[in-house]
C-alpha cells in the first residue's frame, strides 16, 4: 500500500504568522512553490472551505483542506507556528500545528481517507509534543515521514 498523500521536505516549515488569514496565505504560497500549483486557486479553494466552518481541529491543530483541479494525487504541507494563532477552533484553543491537504477534484474517498490519516496522526498527543519539540523543519519532516510510511505499510 502506498501513502495516502505526498509531503515534500520543502513543504514542512516553521512559520511566523499572526492570523488565520496569514496562515492560509502562507499555505497557498507553499503549495505554489513546492508543488507548482496556482497560488490564487489554492487560496480561493482553502478560504472557500473555511467559510463552511473552521478547519481548526482542536487541541492546537488545524487541518485546512480543499479539492483542486489538476492534481494527480493528494499533496500536503505542514507548518509549526512560532506562536499559537486563533483559528476559530471548536475548542477555542489557538493552533500551533497546521497540516494542509489538497486533493484532486474528483478524489472523494481518497480525500476523506487522507484527512482521516492526518487526523489520527495529529490526535496522537505524543506525536504532537514531538512535532512541537523538534529542533527544525528537517526533524519535523523525519517524524512525519516515519509515521506516514509506517501507516502505509
Residues catalogued as catalytic: 65
The CA-atom distances, in angstroms, between 33 and each of 66, 85, 120 are 17, 23, 27
Among 83, 35, 26, smallest CA distance to 60 is for 83
Q: Helices in 3-136 by DSSP H: which ranges?
A: 20-35, 39-51, 108-123, 125-133
- Give the residues across from 98 on adjacent strands: 62, 79
Q: Residues near 45 by Cβ (< 8 Å), separated by ≥ 6?
A: 66, 67, 68, 102
Q: For residue 62, give the C-alpha cell.
A: 488545524
Amino acid at each position: 500500500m502506498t501513502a495516502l498523500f505526498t509531503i515534500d521536505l520543502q513543504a514542512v516549515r516553521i512559520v511566523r504568522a499572526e492570523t488565520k488569514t496569514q496562515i492560509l496565505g502562507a499555505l497557498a504560497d507553499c503549495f505554489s512553490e513546492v508543488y507548482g500549483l496556482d497560488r490564487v486557486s489554492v487560496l480561493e479553494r482553502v478560504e472557500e472551505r473555511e467559510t463552511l466552518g473552521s478547519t481548526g481541529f482542536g487541541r492546537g491543530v488545524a487541518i485546512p483542506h480543499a479539492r483542486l483541479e489538476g492534481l494527480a494525487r493528494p499533496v500536503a504541507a505542514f507548518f509549526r507556528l512560532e506562536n499559537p494563532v486563533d483559528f476559530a477552533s471548536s475548542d477555542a484553543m489557538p493552533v500551533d500545528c497546521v497540516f494542509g491537504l489538497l486533493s484532486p477534484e474528483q478524489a472523494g474517498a481518497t480525500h476523506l481517507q487522507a484527512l482521516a490519516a492526518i487526523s489520527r496522526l495529529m490526535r496522537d498527543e505524543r506525536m504532537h509534543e514531538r512535532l512541537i519539540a523538534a529542533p527544525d523543519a528537517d526533524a519535523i519532516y523525519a517524524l512525519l515521514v516515519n509515521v506516514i510510511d509506517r501507516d502505509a505499510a
